[in-house]
């Protein structure tokens, strides 16, 4: 299946057949997720493939008992983290040094620019300062308008993780299985199941399985492209 066939074939499946998904299929799709473009290459994601029967049962409940979760052969929780950037930055810098002669621009980017946007200071005070200073500078020249708060940072990281989700779903589709992304879940309960704290945001839970034809709710429905696509 080529990329366009995978994009056209992928549907959100709400009911699966009782058929296992081979481990190799899951592993290949998780690898594809890791290749998604991501903000500053800081890879702020974590993918929890829930294979423990006990955790899976609790996750189905946390996904509000949606049929797509209850009938899925596999469930993966896609998480965005606001706290792993320091570790990942160090690892990236190590690799850049191992590769030899990293450009000053690259080093400056990770050492100076990245912390500027990933830290908000005690009680968000630095973030508040940035929210005051950047718009003033912005009168005179283009400036980044955020993220200057934890919430905005979470939003930014969710963009990255959503791209990993799409890579994952297309990779599953290309291998003859189906998925359904879910945001209908109790985030607090999902986090509790995975032992995650406030630095984690659940971007999506994705169900995986062999499609039951009854699991597709009608023909694909998209509105007129003229409403959404503009050439300006």
Ligand X SMILES: Cc1cc2nc3c(=O)[nH]c(=O)nc-3n(C[C@H](O)[C@H](O)[C@H](O)COP(=O)(O)O)c2cc1C
Binding site for ligand X (CB under 6 A): 11-12, 14, 66, 68, 180-184, 204, 220
CB of 211 to ligand X, least distance (A): 11
C-beta of 114 vs 204, nearer to ligand X: 204
C-beta of 42 vs 206, nearer to ligand X: 206
C-beta of 32 vs 180, nearer to ligand X: 180
CB of 220 to ligand X, least distance (A): 6
CA distances from 6 to 135, 136, 169, 174 (A): 43, 46, 9, 5
**Cα 59 to Cα 204: distance, rounded to the nearest angstrom:** 12
CB of 96 to ligand X, least distance (A): 34
Residue in the shown chain whose Cβ atom is closest to ligand X: 184
CB of 207 to ligand X, least distance (A): 9
C-beta of 143 vs 216, nearer to ligand X: 216
């Amino acid at each position: 299946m080529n990329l366009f066939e995978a994009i056209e074939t992928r549907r959100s499946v709400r009911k699966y057949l009782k058929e296992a998904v081979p481990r190799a299929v899951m592993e290949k799709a998780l690898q594809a997720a890791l290749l998604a473009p991501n903000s500053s290459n800081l890879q702020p994601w974590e993918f929890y493939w829930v294979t423990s029967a006990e955790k899976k049962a609790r996750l189905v409940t946390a996904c509000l008992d949606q049929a797509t979760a209850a009938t899925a052969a596999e469930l993966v929780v896609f998480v965005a983290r606001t706290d792993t950037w320091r570790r990942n930055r160090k690892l990236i810098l190590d690799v850049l040094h191992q590769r030899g002669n990293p450009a000053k621009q690259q080093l400056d980017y990770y050492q100076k620019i990245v912390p500027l946007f990933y830290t908000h200071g005690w009680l968000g005070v630095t973030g508040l300062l940035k929210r005051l200073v950047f718009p003033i500078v912005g009168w005179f020249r283009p400036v980044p308008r955020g993220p200057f708060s934890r919430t905005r940072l979470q939003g930014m990281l969710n963009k990255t993780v959503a791209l990993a989700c799409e890579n994952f779903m297309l990779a599953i589709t290309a291998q003859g299985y189906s998925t359904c992304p879910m945001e209908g879940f109790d985030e607090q309960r999902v986090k509790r199941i995975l032992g995650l704290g406030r630095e984690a945001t659940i971007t999506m839970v994705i169900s995986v399985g062999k499609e039951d034809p009854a699991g597709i709710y009608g023909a694909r429905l998209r509105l007129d492209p003229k409403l959404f696509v503009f050439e300006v």
